[in-house]
């Protein structure tokens, strides 16, 4: 690169730079003086002040953890509150040989070696330096006294009053509200260390987990002067924490209890949704467990007992339990068939007790071996006629079936704010190719029509599907939160989160009357002359639209112990039932699953009715005034095509 030689500028440039060097040197000297002045100020002028702080006393900034927001049911009954409790804390840095200190604690309180091991584990969960680690909760007065007596042998050990999460409803909401537990190492890494300093618990499951950000609040702090032993002498400055937000859930404690009672000790799940709002009114997974021990740290043995129980109390059947929906989806399939134009309300199928694909010898059986004769859509729903739905499914084909059933939320997460919901499975051609590398066979479409085969749904999805029948296709994601700070869950959640959920669009049928045919079929299930659940429907003070179903239990679940009597019982089909009521103007939609209950209409339907009764009937056993139809309805006047 040729450069012009600039000899004449050379000396001028050098002079310029030299001048700037001098300016730079002056600036450096001046700024150094500023630093020295600052240090002089701190070390000479403020020396006394800092020495006082440093020598006998130290200033500490102590975080003040915010109190966790409370959780109420829709009527203001408390589901989760905070109870003052005395805890034993150890500050590792002040304890010296903390192993030995733990030994003394165990000895003084006469605890077991198991407790000792638990303490050690808690101590090892490192937090900020000098942060007291709570190792034992809910001290009794005697224990506090014993600690006081031994205080001289226990450096770094303190008895402190803390607010500890408490679930007065015990097992009732363990699967929906969830519980908080101690922050573990993994969570510690992901948390905002500032906002969680001083906080020892975090939502682990359910609402507690999903709304952790709201419930937690914002940390406060106080600047305190402590002596050399860490005792607080004086508070210099305090900023109050911002307490967590209280949540009002859509759940109803009374309905929840009624639903649990209706299950009558059987294993199963109940979900009740208010169709107009998507609010979940009850969410039962039985058996349940008491979440309270999980807050303070459940013992290994107690946990093992829960974990290994054959009844699987820790298993959230509502959100995680996957079952073939069985006949419960027939009303939705019927509506889809009408919309797709493959059947009309009047078209009939002759049922000899089985269905055969043209050119195939295999007989697809109706549950009623003798056959129902010539059946139309409404009759097919009422009788849960399999032959009719084999035919319908065959005409629809798997692709359309997949599309329509997905609109009803099957095979995807449907909830707005429930933690750890399973997506279930709505099979399609593509899915089968990817999963099994096999083509789709026509016979597989047939059994989709009666809710069997590869299909896997959760009770929550069934509840949402029947809610869509009740709302005529209006989609609202079911949710547990009713309001917090006067805002709905949709308002509280970030737009992009809601967008990412990809809520299915409202189901718009070619003719809205198609809904009525499906719904009337469901009503006939309960109230029709040959309805499969008429025994239950007859007893109701209002009209119900429902549908029974059976989920086949194919194999014994892995890990279950072989026990002849139990295994046989556990081989029985799961009983399903979905319904909404009052049929004309639905106020509640319910899905029930009774594990190994065998008969949907015989076992699950009465549960559904009890739940609906609990919601619609007043204490006098009559319909609550707000649920009575505005105009007295004559039996025949209901939606009849």
Partner 1 sequence: MNSNFDRSISDEDVFKRRATLLQRLHIDGWLLLILLALAAGSLFVLYSASGKNWDLLIKQGSSFALGMVGMLVIAQFEPRFMARWVPLAYIFGVGLLVAVEVMGHTAMGATRWINIPGVIRFQPSEFMKIIMPATIAWYLARHNLPPKLRHIAVSLVLILVPFVLILKQPDLGTSLLILASGAFVLFMAGLQWRWIIGAVAAVVPIAVAMWFFVLREYQKQRVLTFLDPESDPLGTGWNIIQSKAAIGSGGVLGKGWLLGTQSHLDFLPESHTDFIIAVLSEEFGLVGVCILLLVYLLLIGRGLFITAQAQTLFGKLLAGSLTMTFFVYVFVNIGMVSGLLPVVGVPLPFISYGGTHLVTLLSGFGILMAIHTHRKWIAQV
Instruction: Please identify, among the stretches 50-58, 178-186, 376-384, 442-450, the one whose residues bind partner 1 according to the rule CB under 8 A.
Output: 50-58
- Let me know if 18 is exposed, middle or buried by CB neighbors in 10 A (0-12, 13-18, 19+): exposed
What does the block give as tokens for 321?
Answer: 């339990």
Nearest to partner 1 of 60, 116 (CB atom): 60
Q: Which residues ranging from 437 to 496 are in contact with partner 1 (CB under 8 A)?
A: none
Q: How far is the CB of 54 from partner 1 (least distance, A)?
A: 4
Cα separation, 272 vs 291, in Å, equals 22
> Is the CB of residue 443 less than 8 Å from the CB of residue 394?
no
CA gap 380, 351 in Å, rounded:
10
Is residue 197 annotated as a catalytic residue, yes or no? no
**16 touches partner 1 by CB under 8 A:** yes
Cα→Cα distances 187→47, 193, 203, 206, 238, Å: 42, 10, 10, 16, 28
**Does 42 contact partner 1 by CB under 8 A?**
yes
- DSSP letter at 131 equals P
Q: Which residue, 81, 61, 63, 62, is CA-closest to 195?
A: 63
Stretch that binds partner 1, among 37-45, 149-157, 332-340, 515-523 (CB under 8 A): 37-45
Q: What is each CA distance from 582 to 58, 588, 590, in whole angstroms? A: 69, 8, 12
Question: Minimum Å distance from CB 49 to partner 1?
Answer: 7
Nearest in space to 195 (alpha carbons), one of 217, 165, 180: 217
Q: Does the footprint of partner 1 cover residue 121 (CB under 8 A)? A: no
Binding letters toward partner 1, positions 144-183, x by CB under 8 A? ----------------------------------------
Confirm or reject binding of residue 28 to partner 1 (CB under 8 A).
yes
39 binds partner 1 (CB under 8 A): yes
Q: Report the candidate in 285, 339, 348 with the shortest Cα–Cα distance to residue 312.
A: 285
Length of the chain: 641
Task: Identify residues 75-104 at the interface with partner 1 (CB under 8 A).
Answer: 93
Q: What is the DSSP string of 15-56?
A: HHHHHHHHHHHHHHHHHHHHHHHHHHIIIIITHHHHHHHHTT
Q: Report the site for partner 1 in 226-245 (rule: CB under 8 A).
A: 239
Give min distance, CB of 57 to partner 1, in A: 10
Q: Nearest distance from residue 9's CB to partner 1, in Å? A: 5
Rounded to an integer, what distance in angstroms lies between the CA atom of residue 82 and that of residue 163?
5
Which residue's CB is nearer to partner 1, number 2 or number 625?
2
What is residue 310's DSSP assignment? T
Q: Which member of 85, 87, 288, 327 is catalytic?
A: 327
Contact call for residue 133 and partner 1 (CB under 8 A): no
Show Cβ contacts of residue 88 under 8 Å, excluding neighbours closer than 6 positions.
105, 134, 135, 136, 137, 139, 143, 147, 157, 158, 159
Q: Does 217 bind partner 1 (CB under 8 A)?
A: no
Give the interface segment with partner 1, choosing from 43-51, 406-414, 447-455, 589-597 (CB under 8 A): 43-51
* Shortest Å distance, C-beta 293 to partner 1: 31
Stretch that binds partner 1, among 5-13, 295-303, 367-375, 473-481 (CB under 8 A): 5-13
Question: Which residues are identified as catalytic?
Answer: 327
Point out which residues bind partner 1 (CB under 8 A).
3, 6, 9, 12-14, 16-21, 24-25, 28-29, 31-32, 34-36, 38-40, 42-44, 46-47, 49-51, 53-55, 58-61, 63, 93, 128-130, 194, 197, 219, 221, 223, 239
């Amino acid at each position: 690169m040729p450069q012009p030689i600039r000899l004449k500028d050379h000396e001028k440039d050098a002079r310029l730079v030299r001048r700037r060097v001098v300016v730079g040197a002056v600036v450096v000297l001046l700024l150094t003086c500023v630093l020295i002045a600052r240090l002089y100020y701190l070390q000479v002028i403020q020396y006394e002040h800092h020495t006082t702080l440093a020598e006998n006393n130290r200033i500490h900034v102590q975080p003040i953890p915010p109190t966790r927001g409370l959780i109420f049911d829709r009527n203001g009954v408390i589901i989760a509150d905070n109870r003052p409790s005395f805890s034993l804390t150890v500050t590792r840095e002040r304890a010296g040989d903390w192993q030995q200190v733990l030994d003394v604690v165990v000895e003084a309180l006469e605890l077991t070696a198991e407790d000792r091991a638990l303490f050690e584990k808690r101590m090892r969960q490192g937090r900020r330096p000098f942060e007291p680690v709570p190792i034992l909760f809910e001290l009794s007065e005697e224990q506090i006294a014993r600690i006081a007596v031994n205080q001289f042998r226990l450096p770094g050990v303190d008895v402190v009053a803390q607010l500890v999460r408490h679930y007065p409803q015990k097992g009732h909401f363990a699967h929906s509200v969830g519980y908080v537990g101690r922050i573990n190492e993994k969570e510690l890494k992901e948390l905002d260390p500032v906002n969680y300093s001083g906080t020892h618990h975090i939502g682990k499951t359910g609402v507690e987990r999903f709304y952790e950000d709201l419930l937690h609040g914002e940390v406060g702090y106080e600047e305190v002067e402590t002596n050399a032993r860490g005792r607080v002498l004086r508070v210099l400055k305090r900023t109050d924490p911002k307490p967590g937000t209280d949540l009002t859930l859509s759940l109803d404690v009374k309905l929840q209890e009624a639903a649990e009672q209706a299950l009558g000790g059987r294993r199963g799940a109940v979900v009740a949704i208010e169709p107009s709002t998507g609010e979940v009114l009850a969410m039962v997974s039985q058996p349940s467990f008491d979440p309270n021990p999980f807050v303070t740290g459940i013992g290994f043995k107690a946990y093992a007992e829960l974990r290994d129980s054959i009844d699987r109390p820790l298993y959230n059947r509502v959100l995680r339990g996957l079952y073939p929906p069985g006949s419960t989806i027939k009303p939705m399939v019927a509506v889809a068939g009408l919309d797709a134009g493959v059947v009309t309300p009047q078209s009939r199928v002759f049922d000899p007790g089985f269905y055969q694909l043209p050119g195939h010898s295999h007989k697809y059986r109706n549950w009623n071996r003798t056959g129902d004769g010539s059946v139309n859509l409404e009759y097919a729903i009422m009788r849960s006629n399999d032959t009719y739905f084999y035919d319908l499914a065959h005409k629809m084909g798997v692709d359309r079936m997949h599309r329509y059933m997905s609109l009803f939320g099957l095979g995807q997460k449907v909830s707005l704010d429930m933690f750890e919901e399973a997506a279930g499975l709505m099979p399609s051609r593509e899915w089968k190719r990817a999963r099994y590398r096999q083509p789709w066979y026509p016979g597989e479409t047939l059994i989709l029509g009666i809710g069997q085969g590869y299909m896997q749904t959760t009770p929550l999805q069934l509840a949402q599907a029947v809610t869509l029948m009740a709302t005529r296709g209006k989609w609202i994601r079911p949710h547990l939160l009713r309001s917090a700070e006067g805002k709905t869950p949709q308002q509280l959640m970030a737009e992009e989160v809601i967008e990412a959920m990809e809520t299915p669009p409202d189901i718009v049928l070619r003719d809205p009357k198609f809904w009525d045919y499906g719904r009337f079929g469901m009503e006939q299930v309960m109230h029709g002359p040959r309805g499969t659940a008429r025994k239950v429907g007859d007893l109701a003070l209002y009209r119900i639209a429902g549908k029974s179903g059976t989920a086949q239990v194919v194999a014994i679940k892995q890990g279950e112990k072989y026990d002849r009597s139990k295994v046989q019982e556990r081989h029985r089909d799961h009983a399903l039932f979905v319904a909404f009521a009052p049929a004309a103007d639905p106020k509640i939609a319910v899905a029930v699953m009774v594990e190994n209950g065998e008969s949907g209409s015989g076992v699950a339907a009465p549960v559904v009715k009890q739940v609906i009764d609990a919601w619609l009937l007043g204490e006098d056993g009559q319909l609550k005034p707000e649920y009575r139809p505005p105009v007295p309805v004559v039996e025949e006047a209901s939606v009849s095509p």
